[in-house]
Structure 1
Amino acid sequence: MNVLLGVSGGIACYKSCGIASALTKSGFEVNVVLTANAAEFVTPLTFQALTHRRVYCEMFDGVADREIAHINLAKQADVFVIAPATANVIAKLACGIADDLLTSAALAVRCPVIICPAMNVNMYENAATQKNLATLKERGAVIISPSEGNLACGDVGKGRMAEPGDIVAAIKDTLNVSSSLAGKKFLVTAGGTMENIDGVRYITNRSSGKMGCAIVRELKRRGAAVTLVAANMKVPAPDADKVIRVVSAKDMLAACMAEYGDCDCIVKAAAVGDYSPVQEYANKIKGDEITLRLKKNPDIAAALGKVKGGRKLVIFCAETQNLLESAANKLKAKGADMVVANDVSKPGIGFDSDKNAVTVMKNGGYKAEYSAASKDTIAKEVVDEIQSLWLQA
């Protein structure tokens, strides 16, 4: 899920850093928009470091990339949070003024809006501010009232922005995010393995790691602890509790065998190469023709299936033909509890795409099909299916 975090200029900006950090660690994608005044309190680089994403400040940020920032950010957002919201920004929102990136995005969003006021007590209690907040509330915005206490100006009264934990909880409530997997530990693999031929060339596949990363984000949103084993991914790793970088199938097997004992469920979403060269050459091979001899790589899914004990094992199955037959065979042969199958021969889904379409199969003949959707949406459906494994136990 995507949170658009608008930060306006006030001393409470430092609390916004905590909000951005907590949301990112919980698996949310966080896009931050800073007003010019906010950037005087906290630098864009701070938020970039916390969210691992680009930070937007100016109305024309993104023009060089042919991006209309306020429209794109608004379309991506599942919730728009303004924290802190100064009296000035609240007044602009109430009047529909769009004179900077934050207020322009506010007019363009079609998602829930959460406003977290922060200002001097007299400014907060001013009739104009109270009328503006009432107007925004009537339009459907959620107002998280400030608390009372010592203010930065030296006054005492109502005006301190709510604590980051309370704001994050309100965001999760708004998005109906549960803690249904709190206490569960997951081991997830993602990306595609790589087998060296020589000092320059290698054998790999087209897996980007997007599906595995979407699974990690969804698990984190539901409160799970996640260890990610990442192989040569084309996308940044999400904020898992632990990230282990590997290259080859052999590396991935070693990492999985070292980590599986501490988990409740293994989700093998990585595309592991079936073969590797019999001999790896240190230098670049030269000549008109070469004959490359390959050997079978270790079967990671089967190895985990043999030692999983009471743990759940979920495997992904990418095929170009005979999808359901292959998936059913793998479900049984690997000792898995669930297989997620997708036909990577279909254009627009699967490897290196932002979309996927999958069939989920479980022991006992269960089968469910999920049509083409974003990988984040597919991840929600897959994690729903994973959760049900414990209900069936």
Structure 2
Amino acid sequence: MLQNRRIVVGVCGGIASYKAIDLVSKLQQAGALVDVILTEHAEEFIQPLTFSTMSHRPVYNDLWEPSGQAAEHHIALAEAADLLMIVPATAQTLAKLAHGMVDNMLTAVALATRAPILLAPAMYKEMYTHPATQANLALLRERGVTVVEPEVGRLASGAIGPGRLPDTPTLLGAIATVLGRRGDLAGRRVIVTAGGTHEPIDPVRYIGNRSSGKMGYSLAEEARDRGAHVILVTGPVALPDPYGVEVQPVETALQMRDAVHRFIADADVLIMSAAVADFRPATQATQKIKKRSSGAQGRGQSEEGEFSIELVQNPDILGELAQILNAPPAQKTTCQRLVRVGFAAETEHLVAHAQTKLQQKQLDFLVANDVSRSDSGFGTETNKVLLLYADGRIEDLPLMSKASVAAEIWDRVVPLLSVQEQGDGSE
């Protein structure tokens, strides 16, 4: 997504300018060509050498230098940019941009470029909420500028409130979202499920699994970066919500099933990467189940102190969708055009079990991985998967990062969308 993209980062004079150093570093590491522009007041906080060291490129700061080359530079930067991001965007710079004022290199580039502009405001809370600042932001949004809302938190003054610059992952997510608006999933609505489910035994205990949700979150972020509207239905995980993704948290398999059915009607793709529990307790205790003294019998507990839980089977979400597809035409819904991808996490007989799931659930393709491997599956940063197709083909992908696996999966989904439309007779 960022490889060889020309990103211009404008840095204004605010205490949050130090966070722009990490942003520039991460962009450069991701393969972007980063040009940094500092305002005069930004140099009161951070020197140009810091940014040139991180970007491996010159830093621009003076529109009025005597050689006149700055005039050429500001036009060249404006024309070459794929994106202009201003971070932090101060109240003064927002006012200048809103009213077309040009008095430094940054505002000159901003007025000259036709690239998307992304603003990350950061300032004292009263300055941010002031009607003048809000009016300027509203005017800029009307002109197509994207604004990354500041977070509520502790500010440099010690006060608590809105105005805190988001951390680098959020800023990178915003950049990827803007750059991906014309991607190969633009205009598509996709559902990704992620994480495991927790099936309550009592208010403090549950039946669950080891799924971290990393694969599903990578799939959601990759789809976002390609321009899709992404709904991420996620079980309990220890991961931050991805920027630009509609997140629907659930806990149980039944809640996940309900969420999928709620969003499915106008979706183009469903990728079920969640590790949904196959079983749940038949009943849930309303109070914490206590250990009993010897000789006493409690709920599901024998005289010997053994404890048992009666389990019932959870619904098969993809299996239910297959039944809908096989229903008489009058009973079918819009999900008959849905591209459906499933996952199979196995510890033995990987191909045989995966082929059975693929056939039973009538998927477009299935992603299978051996979770007994130390480098693949639950909690790891990498994954080693097989792709099994409805026509019998099996594609063996090498070990790679989960983000790379997500990209490979979407590369195979995109052509299926065209096939589905042709089969449906759509234009």
Contact kept in structure 2, 1:343 and 1:350, CA below 8 Å: yes
Which letter does structure 2 place at the counterpart of 1:256? V
Aligned residues: 320
What TM-score do you get using the length of structure 2 for normalisation? 0.64
Q: 1:154 to 1:180 in 2, by over 3 A?
A: closer
Contact kept in structure 1, 2:195 and 2:213, CA below 8 Å: yes
Give the 5 Å matches for 1:109-258. Answer: 120=63, 122-123=64-65, 126-127=67-68, 129=70, 143-144=80-81, 151-153=101-103, 159-160=109-110, 162-163=112-113, 165-166=115-116, 179-258=183-262
Asked whether 1:352 is paired with 2:379, we answer yes
Offset at 1:207? 1.1
Offset at 1:153? 3.7
Which letter does structure 2 place at the counterpart of 1:166? P
Offset at 1:8? 5.0
Contact kept in structure 1, 2:221 and 2:245, CA below 8 Å: no
Asked whether 1:330 is paired with 2:280, we answer no
Instruction: Tell me the distance in 2 between the aligned counterparts of 1:375 and 1:300.
Output: 24
Instruction: Tell me the distance in 2 between the aligned counterparts of 1:80 and 1:119.
Output: 20
Which letter does structure 1 place at the counterpart of 2:311? L
Instruction: Tell me the distance in 2 between the aligned counterparts of 1:358 and 1:235.
Output: 22
SS at match of 1:376: helix
Instruction: Tell me the distance in 1 between the aligned counterparts of 2:290 and 2:114.
Output: 60
Asked whether 1:56 is paired with 2:19, we answer yes
Offset at 1:211? 0.8
Contact kept in structure 2, 1:118 and 1:160, CA below 8 Å: no
Aligned to 1:78: 31
Q: 1:143 to 1:313 in 2, by over 3 A?
A: closer
Larger Rg: 2
User: Deviations along 1:40-91, whole A, 9 cap, x unmatched?
Assistant: 5xx46xxxxxxxxxx7367xxxxxxxxxx7997477423153454559999x
Offset at 1:144? 3.8
Q: 1:116 to 1:250 in 2, by over 3 A?
A: farther
Higher RCO (C-alpha 8 Å, min separation 6): 1
Aligned to 2:278: 274
SS at match of 2:284: coil
Offset at 1:208? 1.3
Of 308, 317, 321, the residue aligned with 1:304 is: 321
What TM-score do you get using the length of structure 1 for normalisation? 0.68
Aligned-residue sequence identity (percent) comes to 29
Contact kept in structure 2, 1:118 and 1:159, CA below 8 Å: no
Aligned to 1:39: 14
Instruction: Tell me the distance in 1 between the aligned counterparts of 2:24 and 2:37.
Output: 22
Offset at 1:188? 1.1
Instruction: Tell me the distance in 2 between the aligned counterparts of 1:325 and 1:279.
Output: 34
Q: 1:162 to 1:329 in 2, by over 3 A?
A: farther
Task: Mark the runs of 5 or more structure 1 residues left unpaired by the alignment.
Answer: 14-37, 45-54, 59-68, 91-96, 108-112
Aligned to 1:342: 369
User: Deviations along 1:144-187, whole A, 9 cap, x unmatched?
Assistant: 499x99544499x9554555843679x88xx9996212222111
Instruction: Tell me the distance in 2 between the aligned counterparts of 1:252 and 1:339.
Output: 19
SS at match of 1:371: coil
Asked whether 1:367 is paired with 2:394, we answer yes
Instruction: Tell me the distance in 1 between the aligned counterparts of 2:260 and 2:198.
Output: 16
Instruction: Tell me the distance in 2 between the aligned counterparts of 1:241 and 1:164.
Output: 26
Aligned to 2:52: 103
Which letter does structure 2 place at the counterpart of 1:227? I
Offset at 1:229? 0.8
Q: 1:183 to 1:143 in 2, by over 3 A?
A: closer
Instruction: Tell me the distance in 2 between the aligned counterparts of 1:251 and 1:154.
Output: 54
Offset at 1:333? 0.3
Offset at 1:390? 3.0
Q: 1:289 to 1:165 in 2, by over 3 A?
A: farther
Aligned to 1:376: 403
Contact kept in structure 2, 1:178 and 1:221, CA below 8 Å: no
Contact kept in structure 2, 1:133 and 1:143, CA below 8 Å: no
Stretch of structure 1 that moved more, 329-338 or 284-293: 284-293
Contact kept in structure 2, 1:116 and 1:161, CA below 8 Å: no
Instruction: Tell me the distance in 1 between the aligned counterparts of 2:32 and 2:24.
Output: 14
Which letter does structure 2 place at the counterpart of 1:383? W
Contact kept in structure 1, 2:180 and 2:225, CA below 8 Å: no
Contact kept in structure 2, 1:320 and 1:345, CA below 8 Å: yes
Q: 1:159 to 1:313 in 2, by over 3 A?
A: closer
Instruction: Tell me the distance in 2 between the aligned counterparts of 1:270 and 1:257.
Output: 15
Which letter does structure 2 place at the counterpart of 1:126? S
Offset at 1:259? 1.1
SS at match of 1:309: helix
Contact kept in structure 2, 1:227 and 1:241, CA below 8 Å: yes
Give the 5 Å matches for 1:13-28. Answer: 13=12
Contact kept in structure 2, 1:359 and 1:368, CA below 8 Å: yes
Which letter does structure 1 place at the counterpart of 2:216? G
Which letter does structure 2 place at the counterpart of 1:264? D
Aligned to 2:311: 294
Instruction: Tell me the distance in 1 between the aligned counterparts of 2:102 and 2:196.
Output: 51
Contact kept in structure 2, 1:119 and 1:159, CA below 8 Å: no
Instruction: Tell me the distance in 1 between the aligned counterparts of 2:28 and 2:35.
Output: 16
Offset at 1:257? 1.0
Contact kept in structure 1, 2:222 and 2:407, CA below 8 Å: yes
Instruction: Tell me the distance in 1 between the aligned counterparts of 2:245 and 2:23.
Output: 32
Contact kept in structure 1, 2:39 and 2:104, CA below 8 Å: no
Offset at 1:365? 1.2
Offset at 1:383? 0.4
